[in-house]
Amino acid sequence: MEHNLMVEVNDLSKIYSPSNRIEHINFEITKGECFALCGGNGAGKSTVIQMIIGNVKPSSGTIKLSGMTMDMNRAVYKSLFSYMPDAMVFPKVLTGYEVLCFFADLSNVPKGRVDFLLEKVGLANDKDKKVREYSKGMQQRLALAQSLLPEAPLLILDEPTNGLDPYWVREFKNIIKEEKEKGTTILFSSHILSDVEELADRVAFMNSGRLLVTDTVEALTKGNNDSSAVKTTLEEVFFSLVKAEQPV
Ligand SMILES: Nc1ncnc2c1ncn2[C@@H]1O[C@H](COP(=O)(O)OP(=O)(O)OP(=O)(O)O)[C@@H](O)[C@H]1O
């Protein structure tokens, strides 16, 4: 039977210490959906992502991708997603082209796709430069190209537009929209709530290791039930959620 859910996160927790806990995280992402994980610094977004991709072992809870846990078949589980970290460290002695060819070989991706993606992220003219000569933004564009190489059904992006100039923020958003149109399921984390509003179908807000709310962008920004109500922004929603959490 075709499984409609790409991601199922069920009562997931990571207890780093008694005072540093990410707990009771529950959400599902339907195939083809664009889902944003939002929250302030230290809310737990990256930890949740790291648990999904198998880099951090959960203290409890389960994660399924397309109905499958990592324990069922690690190789198949890992083939279901590709991942762009918030800061990727590349071997600095390699050129951008060599880096992508390395990752392409790992995933049996034809070299033609390397050239296509270098063009897409605006690095075609710099492909023979060593990565150590790349600016931070160029390295980030290389990281995005790396994550797009395998055309995995689930694309996971940790803070994809952080630190990019306005031109490349827009280009990144267009690339994410293209992926969405192709039917790729997308999970991304971001602090930039205007980007989230533009890209995401649904949003989960985290604070201090807990999930506060998960809903569609439309429902979160519609104001109140009065149809004449002025729409609010995700930024305002986030402020009121975090404010409500503060001790009085
Ligand atoms: N390896 C670790 N060991 C101990 N604590 C950790 C570890 N990694 C993260 N934490 C803690 O877990 C909490 C959540 O961190 P995490 O990086 O997941 O948050 P985030 O929402 O991604 O934050 P930011 O937006 O600042 O990147 C923080 O209190 C952080 O200090």
Among the atoms of ligand 1, which is closest to the Cα of residue 86? Answer: 27
Q: What is the ipTM of this complex?
A: 0.96
Residue 144 and residue 121 in contact, taking contact as beta carbons nearer than 8 Å:
yes
pLDDT tens digits for 156-177? 999 999 878 999 999 999 999 9
Number of other CB atoms surrounding residue 243 within 10 Å:
8
* Average pLDDT score over residue span 29-55: 95
Answer yes or no: are the C-beta atoms of 127 and 118 closer than 8 Å. Answer: yes
Mutate-to-test residue for ligand 1 from 13, 15, 19, 20, highest number of ligand atoms within 8 A of CB: 20
133-152 pLDDT per residue, tens = 999 999 999 999 999 999 99
CB burial string 67-101: b at 16+ within 10 A, e below:
eeebeeeeeebeebbbbbbbebebeeeebbbbbbb
Q: Name the nearest CA neighbour of 118 among 133, 136, 132, 104.
A: 104
Interval 186-211: pLDDT, tens: 999 998 899 999 999 999 999 999 99
Nearest CA to ligand 1 atom 30: 42
Which atom of ligand 1 is least distant from the CA of 14?
12
As beta bridge partners, residue 12 has 25
Tokens of 221: 């920004």
Query: Is 16 near ligand 1, meaning CB less than 6 Å away?
Result: yes
Q: Which strands sit side by side in the sheet containing 20-30, from one edge to the other?
A: 20-30, 5-17, 60-65
The token pair at 104 is 């392409």
